[in-house]
Amino acid sequence: MKELNLTKENFDTEINGETPVFVDFWASWCGPCRMMLPIIEQLADESDGSYRVGKVNVDDERELAVRYGVSTIPTIIVFRKGEAVKRSVGVVNKRALLNMLNG
């Protein structure tokens, strides 16, 4: 499964479903974001449909970053039925991200 490119136009629609969504707030110039990229791609590839993975480029979608109080990147937020339920800031491992789904 490919990660979703989230924009202000599709964001609310994509996060409001029954399936939890990991949303990676990132930027191309961000070194720690680049470190997280393989983990995010792996999560997207390994998804069995029990979760989805989306990405928000904060340079292109500043409005979404402000809306969710993202001031440091990378920030990963898990959304369930449109609500932000878990948040991780900085570089974390895959297990920590998967634990966000289960906790």
Q: Which residues are catalytic?
A: 30, 33
Q: How far, in Å, are 14, 17, 47, 67 from residue 71 at the CA level?
A: 22, 26, 28, 11
Contacts of residue 64, defined as CB under 8 A and 6 or more positions apart, other chains included, come to 6, 7, 8, 11, 25, 56, 58, 70
End-to-end CA distance of the chain: 23
